[in-house]
Chains A and B, each alone.
Chain A
Amino acid sequence: MKQSIQYLINIFSIIILYILLFFLIQTGILSSYYSGILILIGINIILATSLNLATGFLGQLALGHAGFMAIGAYASAIFTMHFNVSSTIGFIVSLLLGGIISGIFGIIIGIPALRLKGDYLAIITLGFGEIIRIIITNLELTGGAKGLTGITRLTNFHITFWITVVVVTLLYTFVHSRHGRAVLAIRENEIAAEAVGVPTTYYKIFAFALAAFFAGVGGGLYAHHIRTLMPTTFRFIYSVEILVIVVLGGMGSFTGSILAAIVLTILPEALRDLADYRMLIYSIALILMMIFRPEGFLGTRELSLSKLFLNHKVKKEGGKTQ
C-alpha cells in the first residue's frame, strides 16, 4: 500500500515538473539557450548517476567515464548519419546501440581492470579512457582529429527529460534489488561478500558494464545535441568533471548526483558574467564543500519526495489533534 502511494507521488511530481518545463519552453519564457542548458543538465544527470553506480555503490574509483561516453556518442552518431535517421524511434534505437557497444567495451575493459582496486583501478581506467580517445582520433570512420560533423539535431528537451527519468529509475530499482544488494556488499566488504555467497567478480563486471551502458546512452544524447564530435571533448578532464559531480552529490546517492548535476551545470553558466573569475569561484566552491561537507550534499542518503510529503502530512495531522 505504502509503496504504491510512493510510486504515485513520484510519478505525479515528475509529470508536474515536465508540464511546468514544457509550458515555460512553449511560451518562450525559457529561451532556447535555457532549454539547451536543461538538455545538458539531463545528460550530466545520466552520466553522474551511472558513474555513481560504479564509484558510489560498487565502490570502485573509475576515471574513464568520458571514454565510454565517447564510444556511445560516436556509435550512435555514425548510426544516425549512415542510415539518415530522422525519427524519434530511430534515434532511440541509435542511443540503445551506442549504449550496448559502450557496455560491451565496459565488459572488455572491466575484466582485467577490476582485478585492481582503489588508485590502481583509477589509473588503469584513466589509461583505457585515453586509449579509446586516441583510437577515435586515428580512425577514419570517426572523422579522426577533425571530428565528426553534420550530425542531425535529434536531441530535444522532451526526449532528454524522459530518457533521464528512465535511466535514473532503472538505476534506482537495480540498486534496490537482490543484485543491487550484492553490489553494495562488495563496496562494504569484498571478502565478506564472497564469504556469504556473492559471486563478486560477476557483479563487479556487471555493474561496471551497466554504468558504461548508460554513459553510452548519455553520449548519444550529447552527440545529437552538440552535433559536432571532437575527440578532444572526451579528454580525461571530462571524466574528472563527472566524478566531481558524483563526489559533490554524495557517493552512493542518486538524488545527490541529480542535485549536484543541476548545480554544477548551472553554476558555470550563471557565473558567465564574471568571465575570468568564474572558474576560480567554481573551484573555491568545491574546496569549501570538501572541507565542510566531505561526504557531499547527501552522503549515502536519498532524498525522498514521498517522505517529504508524508512527513508534512503527519505533522499537520499532529497539529490538528493538539
Chain B
Amino acid sequence: MSLLEVKDLGIAFGGLRAVGNFHINIEPNDLIGLIGPNGAGKTTIFNLLTGVYLPTEGEIILTNENIVGKAPYQIVQKGIARTFQNIRLFKELSVIDNVKIAFHHKMNYPILSGIFRFPSYWKEEKQIDKKARQLLDLFQMEHLANTTAKNLPYGQQRKLEIARALATDPKLLLLDEPAAGMNPQETKELMETIHFIRHQFNIAILLIEHDMNLVMGICEKIVVVDYGMIIAAGTPDEIKTNPKVIGAYLGE
C-alpha cells in the first residue's frame, strides 16, 4: 500500500493552470526528488499537498484517506511535514522553543491546566523538554538549545527547520530547496543529514532541489515538471539522458 497517492492533481489561478494532471505514488521510506526549471510549479505542488492551496481537481490520498480540503494544521497532524524555500523559523524564540512548538499537537493538557499549572502541565512539559533536547541532540544542536533562532548560522537554521518539521512526527517530509544558499561543504553535510533522517526516523522524503549533485546523488527516483506538467519520471540515470528534460533545462 502506498503511503501517499496523488491522482490528477491540478490547480488553476484564474485562467492560469499552474499545475495539471500531477500524479505520484510515494511508498514508505522512499526518497524522491522533484525538479524542474524556475516557475515550473514545484512549490505550488508542495502547497497543494500541505493544504495551503485548495486544488481545483484531483485527489491526495494519505494512507487511504483523502486529505483534500483539510486545513494545513490538520494535514500536519495526519503526517505530512514540510520546510520552506525561504527559511521560516520562529526567529525571536529560542531553538528549543522552536522545536517544542512543533510538539504542540502531541501534547494534551488543556488551557486551564496550563494556566493553573496542574500536575499534567508539569508532567507533559518535562517530557516535552526531554524529547526536544533528544531531537536537538540527534542534530548536534543540543548545546544551542537556549540560543535565539535568528542568531544561528545559516546552515544551522536550515537544520533547525528540518528538526522542527521532524518534531511533528511525520510519515512524509517535504523539503523545499534545502540546499538553497549553501556552500558545497554545507550541501555535503546536508546530504548526510537527509540520509540520516531517512534511516533514523524511517520516513519518506520528497524534496525540491536545484542542486543536481544533491538530487542525483541521493534520490532513487526523480520527477521532472515543467509548466505544471510532469515531463519525465524515473531513476537519476534515466532522467539524465531524457531528451525532454534536457530540452526543458537547456532549450531545444
- The interface of chain A, by Cβ under 8 A from chain B, is 170, 173-174, 177-182, 184-185, 188-189, 191-200, 206, 300
Are A189 and B89 interface neighbours, CB within 8 A? yes
B172 CB to nearest A CB, Å: 13
Are B167 and A179 interface neighbours, CB within 8 A? no
Q: Is B105 an interface residue (CB 8 A)?
A: yes
Q: Is B100 an interface residue (CB 8 A)?
A: yes
Interface size on B, residues (CB 8 A): 39
List the 5 closest A-B pairs by CB distance, nearest first: A177-B114, A188-B90, A197-B76, A192-B88, A196-B102
Question: CA–CA, A200 to B167, complex, Å?
Answer: 18
Chain B minimum-CB-distance residue to A180: B114
Question: CA–CA, A197 to B84, complex, Å?
Answer: 15
Are A189 and B121 interface neighbours, CB within 8 A? no
Are B92 and A179 interface neighbours, CB within 8 A? no
Q: Is B117 an interface residue (CB 8 A)?
A: yes
Residues of chain B from 35 to 79 with CB closer than 8 A to chain A in the complex: 50, 52, 71-73, 76-77
- Cβ 8 A contact of B101, one of A174, A182, A206, A300: A182
Chain A: interface secondary structure? helix
- Chosen A-B contacts, 18 in total, with CB atoms closer than 8 Å, are A177-B109, A177-B125, A178-B100, A178-B114, A178-B124, A178-B125, A181-B104, A182-B104, A184-B97, A188-B90, A189-B90, A192-B88, A194-B72, A195-B73, A196-B102, A196-B167, A197-B77, A300-B92
Question: CA–CA, A50 to B89, complex, Å?
Answer: 26
B147 CB to nearest A CB, Å: 15
Q: Which residues from chain B contact A177 at a C-beta distance below 8 Å?
A: 109, 111, 113-115, 121, 125
Contacts A173-B116, A178-B103 given; 15 further ones with Cβ under 8 A?
A173-B117, A174-B115, A177-B111, A177-B113, A177-B125, A178-B100, A178-B109, A188-B91, A191-B52, A192-B90, A194-B72, A194-B76, A195-B82, A195-B84, A197-B168
Are A198 and B101 interface neighbours, CB within 8 A? yes
A201 CB to nearest B CB, Å: 8
Are A173 and B168 interface neighbours, CB within 8 A? no
